[in-house]
Amino acid sequence: MKYFKFYHIGLLALCLLFQPVSIVKIHSQELPQKELDWYNLSPTQDKVYGIGVNEAYRLLQGRKAKPITVALIGSGIDLMHEDYQTMIWQNRKEKLNGKDDDGNGLVDDVHGWNFLGGIDKDGTTIAMTSTMNQGDREYFRLREKYADYISDGKRFFRFQGDEMVEVAPPANVQEYHYYRDTIVYESPLASRYAGILAAKMVKHYTKVFDKKLKERFPGQEITQKEFETLYDKNAPKDLLSDMAFMILGYSFPLAKTNSWKKIYDVEMAGTPIKQAQQEYEAYLQKHSTDNRQTIVGDDPYNLLDNHYGNADLLTEDANVGTMEASIIAAIRGNGKGADGICNAARIMPLRATTAGDPYLKDVALAIRYAVDHGAKVMLLPSQNTLFPPVERKWIADALYYAEQHDVLAIVPVTESAQDLQKTTYYPNRKMIAGHELTNLMIVAPSDKLGKPSLKANYGKTELDIHAPGKEIYSAGVGNTYGLSTGTGMAAATLAGAAALVRSYFPKLTAAEVRELLNNSVTPMQDMEIEKTIVVNDRKVNDLFTYSDISISGGIVNVANAVKKVLQEKNSTRK
């Protein structure tokens, strides 16, 4: 079945979404405050599975918070929103004067930076509004080297016309295997191109099989029954021949025929090859570029080419960043929207994502920018399965740099129902050989009833914690407000909690804050919960407990975290 999927390439298309968010606009007057910002409420006092922000502030009365910078590495943002415009970070060394005052190579980065921006010939700021699938980008990078190779595991072949000719192995066999085993499955373009090769390979073996059948059954009408006699379980294994045999075997019922001649005629006419080529060309026409070169103009595979972008942050995708900023830092008690989590937060927006997969170079540089400009908490884009080796090291090095500078990084899961112990997603704490990052937290969404997101990824040793991420009332572009749901909302809630703790207890390290938040959750270990999981490539629902699916076994509770710190301080004094 695996090879049948490989040949019928439409089944291989993947849809990778960055931080899915659903939005419902609503006026704050329609709902009481308790309903609007339920994530601020307490499970014990309000019977809602919020994170206890209001309770935490009662515990902290009389104490002063230290301003803390929270970097949002994601989409654009509405800097002028009425509910948090005074809570935006400011680069004190930069002025809005068209000059690079602080000498960091970025002009006018007063409130952050847009790594997906550029300047057109008229001097107007422009920005990318979509990016290519990461797998497709790897396909374009590697296709000249490897896309035309076929291998049976030992030998390598290429097509010269219709003939499959054995050739020398590619110069870098390890990189070829990365292309074949990873990119072909991650890239819709690569999988479609592989479909063309598969169709050519089947045509080649159709001629081989036809010759054998005519020798074995001379003058006889050949049906599927005769065709199946070609399979010999005791014969030496030939991977490509077996693949072609399997595909042709499926072709009988698909074509609704029992005649080998009809199957043979279709293959010899090249119909499957033409169909595969048409599907490849149609996809290529729509997805061959994302205009990075014309808009940004950098080399996305050179980390040292780092002076690019612009300072324009109000982009078409600014709604997500606006929502996240308001969850973390919306002014409390001003009668507008919902109350933010951390009164002392200063939001540093760094635009590195839009529709599609982020360029990891942008994310790596955004992490370093955040560290160098004083962020103590950062929110990153959601996890992904494909981090190419070189770019993976860029992210790993940047996160290690953040760890060395005591910056806590928050990463939301992807909603793919995958067990993170079985399927590797990046970034993760173990992505550096011989070192486990202590400053990285992975978070998944939960709702006001304490139930986790059905489809979010999970993992008893990989997922740190859950946080409110469903029907969160927050700000939208243009002084609007609405309900939002998504993994990014959960990450913003956790980032707000971390910022609140660090603002009142600045001596706590990033590693200590991670440990504190994981050890002070609302305990949910005994609650039976429903989760979607993947079993044998099928999604099914099953029952678990929170301790089965996360390290902490619960939902973030900042009031519990504050209590824990205060108790430790009191016991130390005694």
Task: Characterize 275-307 residue by residue with b for buried, 16 or more Cβ atoms within 10 angstroms of its Cβ, and e for exposed.
Answer: bbbebbeebeeebeebebeebbebebeebeebe
The angle subtended at Cα 155 by Cα 149 and Cα 161, nearest 5°, is 45
pLDDT score of 36: 79
**What pLDDT was estimated at residue 13?**
30
- pLDDT of 31 higher than 60: yes
Q: Does the pLDDT value for residue 77 go beyond 50?
A: yes
Read off the pLDDT of residues 477-530 as tens digits, 9 standing for 90 and up.
999 999 999 999 999 999 999 999 999 999 999 999 999 999 999 988 778 999
d(CA 322, CA 309): 20
Rg (CA), the chain: 28
* pLDDT on residue 262: 94
Locate tokens 């997805």: which residue? 287
What is the Cα–Cα distance from 469 to 204, expressed in whole angstroms? Answer: 53
Identify the pLDDT of residue 536. 86
- Segment 134-163 mean pLDDT: 95
Confidence at residue 397, expressed as pLDDT on a 0 to 100 scale: 99
Q: In percent, how much of the chain has pLDDT > 70?
A: 94
Q: Which helix (H) or strand (E) holds 241?
A: helix 239-255
Q: Is the pLDDT of residue 1 over 70?
A: no
CA distances from 323 to 318, 326, 451, 482 (A): 9, 5, 22, 9
pLDDT in tens, 363-380: 999 999 999 999 999 999
What's the CA gap between 348 and 71, in Å, rounded? 4
Q: With cut-offs at 50, 70 and 90, classify the pLDDT of residue 14.
A: very low
Does residue 27 have a pLDDT over 90?
A: no
- pLDDT score recorded for residue 18: 33
Q: Is the pLDDT of residue 5 over 70?
A: no
Percent of the chain exceeding pLDDT 90 equals 86
pLDDT of residue 407: 99
Cα 326 from Cα 339, distance rounded (Å): 8
- Classified as helix, coil or strand, 524 is coil
Dist CA 511 CA 464 (whole Å): 13
Helix (H) or strand (E) holding 326: helix 318-329
Structural domains of the chain, ranges and CATH numbers in brackets: 21-90+307-573 (3.40.50.200), 134-287 (no CATH)
Query: Are residues 164 and 110 in contact, defined by beta-carbon separation less than 8 angstroms?
Result: no
Work out the average pLDDT over 146-168. Answer: 94
CA–CA distance, 167 with 97 (Å, rounded to integer): 60
Band of the pLDDT at 326, cuts 50, 70, 90?
very high
Under 8 Å between Cβ of 50 and 468 = yes
Q: Is the pLDDT of residue 381 over 80?
A: yes
Tokens describing residue 214:
């005519």
Residue-level pLDDT at 232:
84
Query: What would the mean pLDDT of 433-447 be, rounded to a whole number?
Result: 98
Asked whether the predicted pLDDT for residue 457 surpasses 50, the reply is yes
**H/E element, 486:** strand 480-486
Least confident of 5-9, 26-30, 258-262, 462-466: 5-9
Contact (CB, 8 A) for 562 and 56: yes
Q: How many angstroms separate the CA atoms of 247 and 378, rounded?
A: 49
pLDDT tens digits, 529-556: 999 999 988 999 999 999 999 999 999 9
**DSSP E strand boundaries for 334-381:** 345-351, 375-379
225-280 pLDDT tens trace: 999 999 888 878 788 999 999 999 999 999 999 999 999 999 999 999 999 999 99
The pTM of this model reads 0.91
Judge whether residue 4 has pLDDT over 50.
no
- Supply the DSSP string of 10-65, one letter for each residue: GGG-----SS-EEEEE--GGGS-HHHHTGGGS-HHHHSS-S--HHHHHHHTTT--P
Alpha-carbon gap, residue 54 to 59, rounded angstroms: 9
Higher pLDDT, 234 or 457: 457
In the prediction, which pLDDT does 363 show? 99
pLDDT at 219 over 80: yes
Question: What's the chain's average pLDDT?
Answer: 92
Q: What pLDDT does 238 receive?
A: 84
Q: Is the pLDDT of residue 311 over 60?
A: yes
pLDDT of residue 33: 63
